[in-house]
């Protein structure tokens, strides 16, 4: 995927009259506008009857009782239809110029957005078009030619949903239905696709120790599965939970009501008996989709993405009476991205669509690149099918969608690192006294150590997924250093688990008044783990140090928070902390710089309020947290007078600020950081690995005050 943001080219079609009750005809004039070019009159090369005949030829012979058969469609028929649709694009002189300009100015992906409200135009297979004369890849399918990558989406004028925020952790609802009398749907393959895509957040679930219940709990944070779904069950779940993504797998069917026929989802009827056909309006209601939603309204869902693995979910059966396709209706209700199919889609194609779509979106890719790559995946999969052209996407995306996708990649990397750390911690505990003295015990110990080493490598791989450019120049590097610090702790715990029997090891969360006295004789494996722990901590200290030297005015804070200059006190505080731990010294100038940066955040609230802006809500809390640790270190070095009293003063302010906060992470994170001083960093074995004396006055002062501060926080 290119790092260059896609360039959007909007093509709008307008005509007089209501959205419905117009048949396609070469006599009907449409006004087409693109970019800054003059509007031109365009006529469609179709009589409505002929369009219906051509569309029927693209259906693979599918009907209400028979699935699509790729052998039923011939390439020449598909090519004739593609050429007819491409004639529409060719008749708009400014379109080719706009696409060419977009590619010349911003090499990379071109986002061709088709905007129209006329119902009859939604029936045209624009995605199947051949690239016209003067367009990139002339004579090849426009949406999959490689001369200039182009992704095609549809939208309606003034589509709501464009201001939705994408930088959220995923919460996916996967609902599937296979009512009696209809062919079975491939729900196992779709579930496998979603689970695989979520590995960007969870890591491979099969690596988790424990049983299926533990793996289900890890997956359940992100995914809810609704088998044999009914409309009422979907509505209940959407009322009780807020989903970012909804993936629906079901057969499509036609609801015939005089002239008002429309395509619908075939869900299970209430009570599990029979079939309920759910049309566009009722599906909107089931998904709890409002056209407008108040900030305090919690009973309404509002997903970012709805994917319809359903035949004809993007199709409109008639244009005489008011009505919309399933995909069109959900998009019009405010969902920013809706992906469906214009025709019947093969079973294998539906699985490939789910794989490509969710692998990209959950991996933090720009949705426009995801759509392009997913269409290519379908194109390469089977030359006999046109599932790639059947895939239709309705999209209204924010202008900064690329940056928000990076935010998703950041959140995914953070969750993945945490998952890897948790697993490595469990594996470290397995190293403790695995039947020493027997051949079987030695073999088990070797296997456990190999598993731990593999997970340690996985932590480093997860760290590499953190974005560290543009808005994440400081945040990304800082989090990578934080991950290395956590990795160092896991390596230390693994080394302590190899201690001889009878040498108690304080585990995470168990404070010790004084560090454990290590056995004088350390095994080669234990010494190696200790050395790797020290190396990881030194690496973290170097990253923190380099990150703290980045000028804050060259980068803005990620859009997960307000777009302000990022705070630097936290990375500088951590650099100073590790400098003290590794060398028992600290740069005085940097200490004053960190204190000044944190104090500035505490004193700038009134100034910011006077300008009509405000910082992130957690800024004062984190500032107090940094000042606690900075004065803790100053106390150990005797850097400033009454540093211990000032640490207690900022601790009291920190507790007051977090007393009514709904975010427990403020306090738990600070406790975890202080416990590193009491449980880990001054351990005699770790000190020896650092080349430091096992006991010194500086360490005793810091450890004692840290223990006192922890007791106050936990009280």
Per-residue pLDDT reduced to its tens digit, 226-236: 999 999 999 99
Strand partners, 287: none
The CA–CA distances, whole Å, from 551 to 359, 480, 547, 696 equal 35, 18, 9, 36
Q: Are 598 and 591 in contact (CB under 8 A)?
A: no
Q: Are 633 and 580 in contact (CB under 8 A)?
A: yes
Q: Is the pLDDT reported for residue 326 higher than 80?
A: yes
The band of 502, judged by pLDDT with boundaries at 50, 70 and 90, is: very low
> Looking at residues 574-588, what average pLDDT do you find?
95
CATH class for the domain made up of 172-398: alpha beta
Please tell me the distance from the alpha carbon of residue 510 to that of residue 500, in angstroms, as a whole number.
Answer: 20
* Domains of the chain by residue range: 7-155, 172-398, 404-714
Q: State the average pLDDT for the chain.
A: 85
Please tell me the distance from the alpha carbon of residue 223 to that of residue 217, in angstroms, as a whole number.
Answer: 10
Q: Is the pLDDT reported for residue 620 higher than 90?
A: no
Characterise 373 by phi-psi region: left (phi > 0), alpha (psi -120 to 50), beta (else): alpha
Please tell me the distance from the alpha carbon of residue 9 to that of residue 99, in angstroms, as a whole number.
Answer: 7
User: What pairing do the DSSP bridges indicate for beta strands 262-268 and 251-255?
Assistant: antiparallel
pLDDT at 563: 42
pLDDT at 608: 46
Note the Cα 31 to chain centre separation in Å: 39
| Phi, psi (degrees; rounded to nearest 5) at 306 | -125, 120
> Which is higher by pLDDT, 304 or 500?
304
Q: Is the pLDDT reported for residue 15 higher than 60?
A: yes
The band of 495, judged by pLDDT with boundaries at 50, 70 and 90, is: very high
For 74-101, the pLDDT digits (tens) are: 667 778 888 989 999 999 988 988 888 7
Q: How many helices (H) and strands (E) does the chain have?
A: 24, 14
pLDDT at 437: 47
Q: Is the pLDDT reported for residue 340 higher than 70?
A: yes
Nearby residues of 34 by Cβ (< 8 Å), 6 or more positions away: 9, 10, 11, 12, 92, 94, 95, 98
- From the list 370, 404, 545, the residue with the least C-alpha distance to 472 is 404
End-to-end CA distance of the chain: 50
The band of 53, judged by pLDDT with boundaries at 50, 70 and 90, is: confident
Q: Is the pLDDT reported for residue 385 higher than 90?
A: no
- From the list 262, 300, 261, 258, the residue with the least C-alpha distance to 280 is 262
Nearby residues of 619 by Cβ (< 8 Å), 6 or more positions away: 567, 601
Residues of the chain with pLDDT > 70, as a percent, come to: 83
Secondary structure (3-state) at 9: strand
What are 69's two structure tokens?
Answer: 């058969």
> Looking at residues 132-144, what average pLDDT do you find?
89
pLDDT at 181: 86
> Which is higher by pLDDT, 102 or 684?
684
Please tell me the distance from the alpha carbon of residue 244 to that of residue 222, in angstroms, as a whole number.
Answer: 10
Secondary structure (3-state) at 472: helix
In terms of average pLDDT, the best of 165-169, 446-450, 674-678 is 674-678
Provide the residue count of the chain: 715
What are 644's two structure tokens?
Answer: 């211990």
Please tell me the distance from the alpha carbon of residue 43 to that of residue 88, in angstroms, as a whole number.
Answer: 8
For 175-221, the pLDDT digits (tens) are: 999 998 888 999 999 999 999 999 999 988 877 766 777 788 889 99
Characterise 613 by phi-psi region: left (phi > 0), alpha (psi -120 to 50), beta (else): beta
Please tell me the distance from the alpha carbon of residue 9 to that of residue 486, in angstroms, as a whole number.
Answer: 46
> Looking at residues 266-275, what average pLDDT do you find?
86
Weakest mean pLDDT among 457-471, 503-517, 571-585: 503-517
pLDDT at 516: 43
pLDDT at 245: 96
Upper half-sphere CA count for residue 354 (Cβ side, 13 Å) = 28
Q: Is the pLDDT reported for residue 365 higher than 50?
A: yes
What are 706's two structure tokens?
Answer: 């840290």
- Look-up of token digits 């009859």: 120
| CA pseudo-torsion sign 423, 424, 425, 431 | positive
Task: Please state, as a whole number, how many other Cβ atoms lie within 10 Å of the Cβ of residue 365.
Answer: 20
- pTM: predicted TM-score of the whole model, two decimal places: 0.87
- From the list 556, 551, 563, 536, the residue with the least C-alpha distance to 681 is 536
- From the list 577, 539, 579, the residue with the least C-alpha distance to 677 is 577
> Which is higher by pLDDT, 388 or 65?
388
Strand partners, 265: 252, 278
pLDDT at 605: 55
Secondary structure (3-state) at 216: helix
Please tell me the distance from the alpha carbon of residue 500 to that of residue 94, in angstroms, as a whole number.
Answer: 78
> Which is higher by pLDDT, 260 or 200?
200
């Amino acid at each position: 995927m290119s790092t260059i943001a896609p360039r959007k080219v909007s093509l709008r079609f307008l005509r007089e009259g209501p959205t419905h009750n117009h048949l396609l005809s070469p006599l009907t004039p449409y006004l087409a506008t693109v970019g800054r070019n003059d509007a031109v009159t365009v006529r469609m090369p179709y009589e409505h009857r002929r369009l219906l005949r051509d569309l029927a030829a693209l259906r693979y012979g599918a009907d209400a009782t028979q699935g699509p058969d790729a052998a039923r469609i011939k390439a020449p028929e598909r090519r004739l239809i593609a050429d007819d649709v491409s004639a529409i694009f060719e008749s708009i002189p400014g379109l080719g110029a706009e696409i060419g300009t977009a590619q010349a100015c911003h090499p990379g992906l071109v986002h061709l957005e088709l905007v129209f409200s006329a119902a009859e135009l939604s029936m045209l297979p624009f995605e199947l078009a051949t690239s016209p004369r003067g367009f990139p890849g002339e004579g090849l399918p426009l949406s999959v030619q490689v001369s200039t990558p182009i992704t095609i989406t549809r939208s309606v004028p003034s589509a709501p949903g464009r201001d939705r925020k994408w930088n959220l952790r995923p919460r996916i609802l996967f609902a599937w239905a296979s009512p009696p009398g209809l062919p079975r749907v491939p729900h196992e393959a779709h579930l496998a696709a979603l689970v695989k895509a979520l590995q960007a957040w969870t890591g491979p679930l099969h690596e988790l120790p424990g049983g299926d219940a533990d793996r289900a709990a890890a997956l359940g944070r992100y995914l809810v599965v609704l088998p044999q779904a009914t409309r009422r069950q979907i509505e209940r779940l959407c009322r009780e939970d807020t989903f970012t993504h909804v993936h629906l797998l079901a057969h499509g069917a036609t609801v015939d009501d005089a002239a008002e026929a429309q395509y619908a989802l075939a869900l299970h009827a209430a009570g599990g008996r029979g079939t309920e056909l759910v049309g566009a309006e009722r599906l909107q209601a089931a998904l709890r989709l409002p056209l407008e939603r108040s900030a305090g309204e919690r009973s309404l869902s509002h997903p970012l993405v709805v994917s319809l693995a359903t035949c004809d979910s993007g199709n409109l059966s008639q244009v005489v009476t008011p009505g919309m396709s399933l995909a069109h209706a959900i998009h019009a209700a405010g969902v920013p991205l809706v992906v469906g199919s214009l025709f019947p889609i093969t079973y294998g194609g539906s699985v490939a669509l789910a794989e490509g779509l969710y692998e990209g979106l959950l991996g933090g890719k720009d949705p426009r690149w995801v759509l392009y790559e997913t269409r290519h995946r379908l194109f390469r999969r089977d030359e006999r099918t046109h599932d790639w052209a059947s895939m239709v996407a309705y999209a209204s995306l924010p202008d900064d969608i690329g940056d928000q996708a990076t935010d998703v990649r950041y959140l995914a990397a953070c969750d993945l690192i945490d998952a890897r750390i948790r697993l490595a911690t469990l594996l470290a505990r397995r190293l403790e006294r695995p039947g020493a003295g027997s051949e079987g015990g030695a073999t088990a110990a070797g296997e456990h150590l190999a598993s731990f080493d593999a997970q340690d490598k996985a932590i480093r791989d997860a760290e590499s997924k953190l974005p560290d450019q543009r808005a994440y120049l400081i945040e990304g590097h800082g989090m990578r250093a934080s991950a290395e610090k956590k990795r160092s702790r896991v390596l230390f715990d693994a080394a302590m688990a190899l201690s001889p029997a009878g040498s108690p090891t304080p585990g995470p969360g168990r404070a010790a008044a004084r560090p454990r006295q290590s056995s004088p004789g350390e095994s080669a494996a234990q010494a190696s783990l200790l050395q790797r722990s020290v190396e990881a901590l030194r690496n973290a200290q170097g990253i923190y140090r380099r990150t703290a030297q980045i000028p804050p005015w060259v980068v803005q804070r990620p859009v997960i928070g307000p777009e302000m200059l990022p705070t630097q006190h936290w990375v500088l505080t951590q650099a100073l902390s590790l400098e003290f731990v590794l060398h028992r010294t600290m740069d005085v100038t940097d200490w004053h710089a960190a204190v000044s940066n944190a104090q500035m955040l505490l004193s700038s609230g009134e100034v910011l309020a006077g300008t009509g802006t405000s910082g992130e809500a957690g800024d004062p809390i984190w500032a107090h947290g940094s000042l606690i640790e900075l004065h803790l270190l100053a106390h150990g070095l005797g850097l400033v007078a009454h540093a211990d009293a000032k640490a207690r003063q900022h601790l009291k302010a920190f507790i007051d600020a977090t007393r009514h906060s709904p975010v427990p992470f403020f306090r738990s994170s600070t406790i975890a950081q202080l416990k590193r001083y009491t449980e880990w960093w001054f351990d005699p074995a770790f000190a020896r690995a650092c080349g430091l004396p096992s006991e010194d006055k500086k360490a005793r002062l810091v450890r004692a005050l840290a223990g006192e501060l922890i007791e106050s926080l936990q009280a």
